[in-house]
Chain A
Amino acid sequence: MPPLPATIDDLQTALAGQRYMAERSLTTAIFLALKLGKPLFLEGEAGVGKTEAAKVLAALLKRPLIRLQCYEGLDINTAVYEWNYARQLLHIRLLEAQGKAREAEALENIFGPDFLLKRPLLLALESTPAGPPVLLIDELDRADAEFEAFLLEILSDFQITIPEIGVIRAAAPPVVVITSNRTREIHDALKRRCLYHWIDYPSFEREMEIVLARAPHAPEALARQVVRFAQALRQEELYKAPGVAETLDWIAALVALDQHSLSEAVIADTLGVLLKYQDDIGYVRGGRIPPLLLQARG
């Protein structure tokens, strides 16, 4: 199990080693989450690298990543634990065959650890040989407010109470990363237990670093134009501005099309990689490409 980075600079270098170029403020937040053993709550627009932060963290700490994708109606049975009904019923049949089915004690055993199906949150409390896992609770804003209540006990005490068994406590607390696209506000009670960090769109220099690290085969001149174009596009009035993920997709698309620089025609053809709303695409195609291209060429 590799030791935790000793300083913020060490962590910054380690993240860069995983091709994750973080702002120093984000690195500080991650550093504190590791040192203080607190969950990290990352908020930001889609495609700025929130989920990626957790993946990279797991990779650099060499720990398993446990991911819980949130959705409306997510409940204890899917997120925490479930009883294995089929096995329980078979076990009862077995007891019957052995003539023990009337013994209350034998029946009570079927609500024991042997019949428990562990879901992501419970799994995250178990330490592995590589150390406690990294738990990613992704897009928490997609779950409903009721689900947040389940999380409170886990996030503050790293423990889960199962009525039939008792309290299950983590030997060593997992590294917890929660992400939200902010389609709704998360309750303060949950935020209070976390370190909060808002990931903004990166600056031009930072985005260049990211693109060069993640798309090493792309010509640098093309990368420069692509990043400038994406940066300029974020200044336009769009329903959904492109994130860094879209920039990376776009440059991959342009490389696949053997392009060495941007042109109006190729932009118009590949705009669907950057923008995901018909209204936005229509707006940009309707005369915004030439001025944006001018800015991209610098």
Chain B
Amino acid sequence: MSHLLANLTQFARLLRAAGIPITPAQVADAAAGLAWIDLARREDVQNVCRALWVQHRRHLPLFDRAFDLFWRQQAGAGEQAEIPGPQWTSLRLMMAQEGALAGEGDPEKEPFSAYSAVERLRHKPFTALSAEEMTRVRNLIAGLNWQPPVRRTRRTIPARHGAHFDGRRTLRHSLRYGGEPLRLARRARTHTPRPLILLCDASGSMAPYSRMLLHFAYALSVRLAAVEVFLFSTRLTRVTPHLRRRSIHSALDQIAHHASDLGGGTQIGGALKAFNLRWARRLLHRGAILLLISDGWDRGDPAEISAQMARLHRLAHRLIWLNPHLAAPDYEPLTRGMRAALPHIDHFLPVHNLHSLEQLAALLETLPG
């Protein structure tokens, strides 16, 4: 038995290293559980450990692979198994390209001289910022205040003027007056901020904006509890967990590692379909607000975009499309993708400078609950 426990402990340590959290209590549970079964049946041993240790579906394949690896090695040389760590790549190459693009804008031509420095920055397009200005704008983005509209929940709390009767408190109170219910206690519905879902186009045509938009997404995730962020180019990648990192730099590294298609072509319809199939039912059912950031350049089928946008529009509380080109005086939504999407959009806003993000924050604050 002690040999088994030693093996279990080591196996648990291996799983922890692979990213599956296992408490000592769970190891003890497994030891207790294994006492009930025939240890010669490897499948049962695996099932027992899995039932006690794995708590997320995404961990299942990892667990099964680790189990095979560990017990095979255990049977062989008895060495500690090793799972190859993920190979981190970095976002730096992409960043370097963007840096080059950022230098191209010509600030001399812009009629900003009358504004103060911050005012100038607020209205300067992201694509025209110098490296130093970019840092300052980034800090300003991090400081923006986000107040998404609230949704009335079905949960109630004690409140003086609530709409619901609170029998328990009324009775409690009445005991002080010999059981006479002099005052009716009441309860009111609570309110909770609506979740924000961000679908961000990170294809080649959006590259000049990608960096600032990632900072925007990071700032949102830091400020608000209920934020989900997806990037798409040729496919859809959920980056919410990566943005929960403590520093923006490790967040960006993680994103570059997991979304290898960034900077490629665009399949808006395909990305939206992937979102609808896999995520919409899980994320949009509590009155979420959907922010879709894209220039609408698309190589796919406009009919697909139209169908998927219609579905998104039905599921989301509000659908807001942010387009970096919208601010250009001669812009007209003529791209096929944009035209297909327009009928299904609640709000169409620009997203090319700090001021446009402030406008978005202001819109969110004024949206009815």
A residues touching B (Cβ–Cβ < 8 Å)? 7-8, 24-25, 28-29, 31-32, 35-36, 38, 41, 43, 71-73, 75, 77, 82-83, 85, 88-89, 92-93, 95-96, 101-102, 107-108, 110, 144, 146, 182-184, 188, 191-192, 194-198, 237-240, 279
Contacts and interface: CB of A to CB of B under 8 A. Distances in A.
Contacts of B38: 7
A38 to B, nearest CB: 8
Given A85-B170, A85-B171, 10 more contacts: A7-B38, A24-B47, A73-B154, A88-B171, A92-B178, A107-B179, A110-B175, A144-B154, A191-B55, A198-B57
A107 to B, nearest CB: 5
B51 A28 contact: yes
Contacts of A195: 51-52
Contacts of B181: 89
A285 B153 CA distance: 39
A146 to B, nearest CB: 6
B36 interface: yes
Nearest to B33: A32
B132 interface: no
A95 B33 CA distance: 56
A79 to B, nearest CB: 12
10 contacts: A24-B47, A25-B51, A29-B51, A36-B29, A73-B154, A82-B168, A89-B179, A192-B23, A239-B277, A279-B311
Q: Which interface class (under 10, 10 to 19, 20 to 34, 35 or more) fits B? A: 35 or more
B147 interface: no
Contacts of B154: 71-73, 144
Contacts of B44: 8, 24, 28
Contact of B179 (A24, A75, A92, A240): A92
B171 A83 contact: yes
Nearest to A76: B168
A25 B171 contact: no
A183 B155 contact: no
Interface string B43-82: 1100110111011110010000000000000000000000
Contact of A73 (B153, B167, B311): B153
Contacts of A240: 281
B4 interface: no
Given A8-B44, A89-B181, A239-B277, A83 B57 contact: no
B116 to A, nearest CB: 45
B205 interface: no
B57 A43 contact: yes
A35 B36 contact: yes
B51 A32 contact: yes
B277 A237 contact: yes
Contacts of B54: 196
Contact of B178 (A35, A73, A96): A96
A274 B166 CA distance: 44
A28 B171 contact: no
B5 interface: no
B282 interface: yes
Interface string B152-169: 011110000000000110
B155 A75 contact: yes
A89 B36 CA distance: 54
Contacts of B179: 89, 92-93, 95-96, 101, 107
Contacts of A110: 171, 175
Contacts of B273: 237
B191 interface: no
B276 interface: yes
B190 to A, nearest CB: 9
Contacts of A29: 47, 51
A28 B47 contact: yes
The 10 A-B residue pairs with the shortest CB-CB distance in the complex, in nearest-first order = A73-B154, A92-B179, A28-B47, A85-B167, A29-B51, A191-B55, A196-B55, A25-B47, A72-B154, A195-B51
Given A88-B171, A95-B179, A101-B179, A32 B52 contact: yes
Nearest to B311: A279
A84 B341 CA distance: 55
Contacts of B56: 191, 196
A241 to B, nearest CB: 10
Nearest to B175: A107
Interface string B271-295: 0010011000110010000000000
A31 B56 CA distance: 20
B37 interface: yes
